[in-house]
Structure 1
C-alpha cells in the first residue's frame, strides 16, 4: 500500500527516496479503510490528520443553515486530503470530509508530517511543490468562479478533471462548480452537441 505513496514522492522530488527514508515514512503513515460515506473529519472537530488516497474518492464540504451542501474539494487516488486551516490554526473545522466510495488511505498525524519534513529533505520538497500546485489551482478556481459562465466553468472542469465526471454524480459536480443541478444538466447537453 505504501508503494503508491513512495511512487508519488519520487515523482515529485529531485531524487528517489532511500530505504531508510521509506522506513520512516512507513512508520508514520498507517493504512486505514473507510466505508462509503464514512467521515474522515467532521465539522467542529480539529483536523489532526493528513491522508494520502491509495484507492477511492472523497469530498470536502460545508453545510449551510438550510442543509445544502457546498463542495469545496473533491479527491481521488494520489491526492492528499486534510483541512489545512484547521490543522495549522488548531481551530474547529468548518468542513466535513467524507468518502464517496469505499476508500483506502495512508494516514499520518499532522505532527508526524512536520517531523518527516524536518527529517527527509525530499519530503519537504514534495510538500512545497504540493503547496504551490494547490495555491495555483485555488487561484484558478476562484478566478473561474467569479469570471466565467457556467458553460466555461464546466468546460474547464471537464478538461482538467475528466475522472471526477466519471466518479462523482451531477449534484456533487454542480455544487463544486457553484451552479444548480438543472444548470449543469443544460450545460452538459450543450457540451455534448459540440
Structure 2
C-alpha cells in the first residue's frame, strides 16, 4: 500500500526516501466496508482520503429529495472536500464507498 502512495507523491514532486517516510508515518491507512459513509451532507469535513482500492461516490440530495451523483473516485485518487469558501464550512455532499477492497 505504501508503494501506491509513494507513486502518487512522485507524480507531483521529487522527495527523498526519508521525506517520503516522514509523510507516510503521519498517514493512517484504514479499510472501510462497502456502504460506509465517510462524510454526510451538512457535516464539516475533517479528513481527506486517498483511494487505494475500491470506488467512492460523491453525491448530494437536492431540494426535491433526489440523489445527484457528482463524482466517483477510483483507485489512486485523492478526495478532499474542505469548504473554506463557505461561512459554515459544511459539506454539500455525501461521500460513501460503493466498492471496497474485498
TM-score (norm. length: structure 1): 0.47
Residue-pair matches, total: 100
Partner deviation per Cα, 1:98-143 (whole Å, 9 max, x = no partner) = 0111159xxxxxxxxxxxxxxxxxxxxxxxxxxxxxxxxxxxxxxx
Partner deviation per Cα, 1:161-180 (whole Å, 9 max, x = no partner) = xxxxxxxxxxxxxxxxxxxx
Distance 1:49 1:103, change over 3 A: farther
Residue 48 of structure 1, CA deviation? 1.1
Query: Which residue among 70, 73, 76 is the counterpart of 1:75?
Result: 73
Name the structure, 1 or 2, with higher relative contact order (CA <8 Å, separation 6+).
2
- Higher strand content, 1 or 2: 2
Query: Which residue among 14, 18, 22 is the counterpart of 1:24?
Result: 22
Query: Which residue among 59, 67, 82 is the counterpart of 1:84?
Result: 82
Which residue of structure 2 lines up, in the alignment, with residue 122 of structure 1? none
Distance 1:103 1:66 in 2: 33
Distance 1:70 1:96 in 2: 10
Which residue of structure 2 lines up, in the alignment, with residue 146 of structure 1? none
Distance 2:43 2:2 in 1: 27
**Within the alignment, does 1:57 sit opposite 2:55 as a pair?**
yes
Partner deviation per Cα, 1:86-106 (whole Å, 9 max, x = no partner) = xx34611121000111159xx
Distance 2:44 2:76 in 1: 24
Which residue of structure 2 lines up, in the alignment, with residue 99 of structure 1? 97
Q: Structure 2: any 5+ residue segments left out of the alignment?
A: none
Match of 1:32, SS? coil
- Higher helix content, 1 or 2: 1
Moved beyond 2 Å, runs of 4+: none
Match runs of 1:1-194 below 5 Å:
1-13=1-13, 15=14, 17-85=15-83, 88-89=84-85, 91-103=89-101
Partner deviation per Cα, 1:19-66 (whole Å, 9 max, x = no partner) = 221222112211011111111111121111111111010111111233
- When the two chains are superposed, the root-mean-square deviation of aligned CA atoms in Å is 1.8
Q: Structure 1: any 5+ residue segments left out of the alignment?
A: 105-194
